[in-house]
């Protein structure tokens, strides 16, 4: 962990100053940041793989009060997937391995980050509200290939390795899907979902996840507190372990509203030590003046979920 923190450099100490520095960049105009909000099918190449991604413009424009933004693909998603699946700082220091568990919040319908990173980890859990799951499962199934199975899980001649169908437990290869609404659902069942010891049981056993990912999940004030509290709760699961490294929370965003960003960072900073991932650790498309930013957080020992 010390090596990772050394690579990330100095932590953010003042959220207001960090917000000023971030929004002092030359931010390209991308409107809201859809790749193409009218297309029902996107053809993308991410991390060396050609992907065909179904999305739902009709659902995006519907009046669903719980939200519709996960119905289409946002610009930062394939760029973040390209970076997170590369030989990045987390991979270098062993956070992605055949034993690692990664959980993504607000994954949306595409499954792009899951499809890109899953080959490097033991288990990937893609979570969102229930309205995205139908297209999410379709995209995972149709873009799954044998190459997407981690090397540690492949078996010569295995029928499982050649299947492109969803299993009855909603698993494609090592990617699992889980309904998780930040405002309504508790994360207390996640250890049982992962087949782990429940919090409060044997605290020396495996618990929680290694890396928590959120890609473009914050775009209005109403989401900030539920989002940060969910991040806190999930990272707090790992804090009960005496033998495992703490969960690293990675948050990627497109820069839109300085007010919303600053409000998020203040809330996040109250519970997490925070680092902005420096340019030397990013791919060109995510560096300064790109209009995107990535932060990493470690839950403070004294932090408790609300």
Question: For the chain, percent helix, then strand, then coil, each to nearest 5?
Answer: 35, 20, 45
**Looking at the domain assignment, is residue 153 inside a domain?**
no
Q: How far apart are CA 18 and CA 263, in angstroms?
A: 12
- Identify which of 266, 271, 265, 270 has the alpha carbon closest to the alpha carbon of residue 294: 265
DSSP 34: B
In a domain, 151, yes or no: no
pLDDT of residue 259: 96
Per the structure, the count of domains in the chain is: 1
Q: What is the pLDDT of residue 251?
A: 98
Report the SS3 class of residue 21.
helix
- Work out the average pLDDT over 196-208: 64
pLDDT at 204: 60
Which segment of 3-12, 115-124, 239-248 scores lowest on mean pLDDT? 239-248
What three-state secondary structure class fits 113?
helix
Q: Which domain holds residue 246?
A: 1-145+171-299
- Let me know if residue 305 belongs to a domain: no
What are 145-192's pLDDT values in tens digits?
Answer: 645 444 445 443 333 333 223 333 456 789 999 999 998 998 988 998
Which has the higher per-residue pLDDT, 67 or 262? 262
In a domain, 152, yes or no: no
Give the CATH number, domain containing residue 7: 3.40.50.150
Q: What is the pLDDT of residues 261-304, one digit of tens each?
A: 999 999 999 999 999 999 999 999 999 999 999 999 999 987 76
Q: Assess if residue 40 is contained within a domain.
A: yes
Mind spelling out the 3-state secondary structure of 62-99? CCCCCCCHHHCCECHHHHHHHHHCCCCHHHHCCCCCCC
Model's pTM, two decimal places? Answer: 0.88
195 to 171, 184, 189, 211, 262: CA distances (angstroms): 14, 22, 10, 17, 37
Q: Residues for the chain: how many in total?
A: 306
212-253 pLDDT, tens digit per residue, is 999 999 988 999 999 999 999 999 998 767 788 999 999 999
The pLDDT score that the predictor gives to residue 59 is 75
Residue among 108, 119, 223 nearest 175 (CA): 119
User: Is residue 277 in some structural domain?
Assistant: yes
Whether the CB-CB separation of 234 and 187 falls below 8 Å is answered with yes
Residue at 260 is within a domain: yes
Query: Is residue 163 in some structural domain?
Result: no
First vs last C-alpha separation in the chain: 26
């Amino acid at each position: 962990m010390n090596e990772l923190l050394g690579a990330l450099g100095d932590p953010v100490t003042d959220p207001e100053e960090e917000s000023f520095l971030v929004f002092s960049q030359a931010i390209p105009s991308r409107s809201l940041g859809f790749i193409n909000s009218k297309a029902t099918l996107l053809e993308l190449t991410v991390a060396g793989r050609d992907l065909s991604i179904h999305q739902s413009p009709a659902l995006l424009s519907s009046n669903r009060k719980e939200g519709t933004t996960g119905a289409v693909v946002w610009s930062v998603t394939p760029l973040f997937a390209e970076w997170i699946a590369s030989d990045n700082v987390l991979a270098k220091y062993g956070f992605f391995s055949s034993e690692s568990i990664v959980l993504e919040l607000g994954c949306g319908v595409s499954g792009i980050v899951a499809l890109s990173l899953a080959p490097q980890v033991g288990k990937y859990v893609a979570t969102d509200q229930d309205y995205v799951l139908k297209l999410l499962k379709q995209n995972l199934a149709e873009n799954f290939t044998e190459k997407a199975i981690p090397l540690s899980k492949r078996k010569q001649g295995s029928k499982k390795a050649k299947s492109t169908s969803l299993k009855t437990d909603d698993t494609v290869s090592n990617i699992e899907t889980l309904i998780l609404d930040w405002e309504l659902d508790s994360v207390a069942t996640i250890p049982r979902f992962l087949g782990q010891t429940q919090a409060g049981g044997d605290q020396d056993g495996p618990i929680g996840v290694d890396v928590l990912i959120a890609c473009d999940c914050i775009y209005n004030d109403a989401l900030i507190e539920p989002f940060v509290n969910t991040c806190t709760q999930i990272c707090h699961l790992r804090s009960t372990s005496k033998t495992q490294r703490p969960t690293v929370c990675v948050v990627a965003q497109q820069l839109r509203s300085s007010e919303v960003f600053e409000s998020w960072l203040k809330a996040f900073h109250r519970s997490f030590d925070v680092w902005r991932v420096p340019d030397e650790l990013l791919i060109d498309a995510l560096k300064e003046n790109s209009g995107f930013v990535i932060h990493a957080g470690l839950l403070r020992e004294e932090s408790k979920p609300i």
